[in-house]
Structure 1
Amino acid sequence: MLSALSLASCNGVMYDEEGDCDPHYKARFIFDMNMLYADAFSKEVNAVTLYLIDPATGDIVWQKSERGDRLRQDGYLMDLDVAPGSYQLLAWCGEGRDEHFAIPADASHHTQLTCRLNREYDPVTGAALSRKDLKRLYHGKTDVKIFPEEEGTYIYNVELVKNTNDVNIVLQHLSGEIVKEGYTFTITDANGSLDWDNSIMPDEEITYQPWQVLAGTAGIEYPEADDVPVITSMSACVANLTVSRLMADRSDDMRVKIYNPAGEKIVDIPLIQYALLVRGRYEHSMTEQEYLDRQNKYDLVFFIDEGNRWADSYIYINSWMVVRQSSDL
């Protein structure tokens, strides 16, 4: 989207901050791809890097980075110091792009603006691991935009998508105590490399591990006579993980696995398929991919029986109870 402001002639009104008859170009960053449908850019995004691309060649002709308090100011706009012409705008934003992901600093063509998750390798198995609380990563791009020669101030909107997702796995024991050290939690997917257009590139499988595991008790409400709930305290364990982008066309690939103290795999489910089961519970109509892009926090609650196995008839996803109809899901 393009906004054109202050289109006065040189013989008419001139804005003090401009002081000439040249065109002025600016970028506005918007992050309303969230479940609140409200722009949260100033609250969430603390670093931006914008690239301008020549659509004829695909070459990067200009780039700029800004971060910190400047981005939190109301009406923040980035000045674009380029000549009139046609450009595509592409942005990688958030602290994550520097701390937990890598983008080539010497990129000269738009196809080189890929983003790769930093990972460790298990010294025994060689498996690629990520066990960090990943800092937020955002991506945005526009269609080709015209930067006119005529005087005025032109504002180009760059709409962002958040790529990092928080997954909180809760185990609640139905009849005993959970010892957090006894359970192993992983999420696996080959989604550690993102292309310039934010699609997932071929990559090795990443094993995401918790960056924090906590144990305690949780109160569960059970309905009793006269619909008066009775609250029962249960032993619980919470594992916090952060993963890269979720894609609807890869719904079989990302899997949540939990192992009990005996080393038995008690949970093995496709996370994306389960996440999409509650998409229809929200008031807005969304495609599967739009829901995954908007919903960046997933709370999964599993109940464990006396044998330390999953009581797999149901699961809670973001506070919605899902009754499992098939063990194949």
Structure 2
Amino acid sequence: MKYTKIIYNYLAAWLLLFLATLPSCDYIHDDIAPCKHYLRFAYVHNMKFADAFVHEMECQATAKNLRLYIFDAEGKFLRAETIEGEALRTNRHELTLDPGTYRLLAWAGLNETDYEWTTPAAGSSVADFHMSVKRSTGQTVARELLGLFQGEMKLEIPEGGETEQVMPLVKNTNKIRFVIIDTNSGTELSADSFDMLVTTGNGDLSHDNQPVSNTMLTWLPYYKGIETVKDANGTTAYTAICTELNTLRLLDDSGSRLQVRYSEETTPFLDVDLTDFLLLTQMESHKLEAQEYLDRQDEYVVMVYVDTMGGKAHCLEVIVNDWVIRLDDLTLGKEEL
């Protein structure tokens, strides 16, 4: 009896091992479910080093979608899929692809108000894709852009077994908020008392997130306003001029510039290389390469303290993202706006 029980246990263990080796899915047998393959999208290329993709999409006013372009191993276009709504919030997209090698290109946030882009056609190459920011006469942009994200990866679909892979994304839009405070409390200021602009040579991007041309764009504020700060007694302590503008992806050593001018003058009191200026805000502990920092950091707050006594603006202090920038670190230009 004991011998029979040992044989039974052995056969049961062997049967379980055999069943474990059987495929749970494949592409050949009709009686076995086809293998499923899933793709998630992750935006961790930020200063928190944490995935914020779904949150970023949900916070957008419109264009809450992602366009996924699928190419074969040689980069020839096969088809496009749009992910939005509940599928975007769930962020687990099922791919119906045969075993093989593919190239995937993803762009999230594309919309016809802000951008123009090529629509891949059958047989076209991944290298044919490019997008650009819509601009006004004079190559200017003075509106708030919706967030734009890009990703590209190689995908392998195996002969058997389910897979779940992650596609990393980078954010291609930046916002800069200016807060200008006049320390001379007796001066009457309006939202138009100061002019600021940013010029960059990057208004379009290729499939691999590189600039297509070097046409200079001028980015102007999409928001201007006056805000007040009160003291403990509820009395206005000072007023601040607040403006915001945005840019496409910032590239290091690209010749971009930031200029701020008092409306009573023709010469800007702040005229600096934009990326050099923003790179001063990186903490030493980050130890990131310049371009990686510019790609991860997508929002900047620039506080400028000035004195406009006598009809001229004297720059006293500049603070960017809570970091005080020494005026000795800045090259103050003399060109007119």
* Fold conserved between structures, TM > 0.5: yes
2: distance between equivalents of 1:199 and 1:219? 46
1: distance between equivalents of 2:25 and 2:277? 57
Q: When you count strand as a share of all residues, which structure comes out higher?
A: 1
1:245-302 deviation line (CA, Å, top 9, x unaligned): 011242xx22112222224222212221111011125x43322111111110011111
User: Secondary structure of the equivalent of 2:140?
Assistant: strand
**How is 1:32-181 mapped onto 2 (pairs within 5 angstroms)?**
32-45=44-57, 46-56=64-74, 58-73=75-90, 76-94=91-109, 96-107=110-121, 108-121=124-137, 127-142=138-153, 144-150=154-160, 152-175=161-184, 176-181=187-192
Residue 213 of structure 1 and its aligned partner are, at CA, apart by: 0.2
Q: What amino acid does structure 1 have at the position aligned with 2:263?
A: P
2: distance between equivalents of 1:84 and 1:13? 16
**How is 1:245-284 mapped onto 2 (pairs within 5 angstroms)?**
245-250=249-254, 253-264=255-266, 265-280=268-283, 283-284=285-286
1: distance between equivalents of 2:311 and 2:31? 73
Change over 3 Å in CA distance of 1:35–1:89 after alignment to 2? same
Residue 87 of structure 1 and its aligned partner are, at CA, apart by: 1.1
1: distance between equivalents of 2:236 and 2:272? 28
Give the conservation status (yes or no) of the 8 Å contact 2:43–2:53.
yes
Give the conservation status (yes or no) of the 8 Å contact 1:266–1:309.
no
Residue 216 of structure 1 and its aligned partner are, at CA, apart by: 2.5
RMSD: 2.7
1:45-80 deviation line (CA, Å, top 9, x unaligned): 231111122232x2112221111233123xx21122
- Is the aligned partner of 1:325 residue 2:321? no
2: distance between equivalents of 1:247 and 1:219? 39
Give the conservation status (yes or no) of the 8 Å contact 1:62–1:82.
no
2: distance between equivalents of 1:13 and 1:197? 37
Residue 314 of structure 1 and its aligned partner are, at CA, apart by: 3.3
1:177-225 deviation line (CA, Å, top 9, x unaligned): 32212322211112111111001221421111111101123479xxxxx
1:226-250 deviation line (CA, Å, top 9, x unaligned): xxxxx99332101111111011242
2: distance between equivalents of 1:278 and 1:85? 45
User: Secondary structure of the equivalent of 2:292?
Assistant: helix
Q: 1:291 aligns with which of 275, 290, 293?
A: 293
Q: Percent of pairs identical after alignment?
A: 26
2: distance between equivalents of 1:257 and 1:172? 16
1: distance between equivalents of 2:263 and 2:292? 38
Matched residue pairs, number?
A: 297
Q: 1:210 aligns with which of 218, 221, 244?
A: 221
Change over 3 Å in CA distance of 1:60–1:140 after alignment to 2? same
Give the conservation status (yes or no) of the 8 Å contact 2:279–2:290.
yes
- Mean Cα displacement is larger for which, 284-293 or 205-214? 284-293
Give the conservation status (yes or no) of the 8 Å contact 1:97–1:103.
no
Q: What amino acid does structure 2 have at the position aligned with 1:158?
A: M
Q: What amino acid does structure 2 have at the position aligned with 1:112?
A: D
Give the conservation status (yes or no) of the 8 Å contact 2:228–2:236.
no
Unaligned runs of 5+ in 1: 1-7, 122-126, 221-230
Q: Please, what TM-score do these two structures have when normalized by structure 1?
A: 0.82
Change over 3 Å in CA distance of 1:19–1:181 after alignment to 2? farther
Unaligned runs of 5+ in 2: 1-18, 58-63, 333-337
2: distance between equivalents of 1:308 and 1:21? 78
Q: 2:202 aligns with which of 191, 205, 214?
A: 191
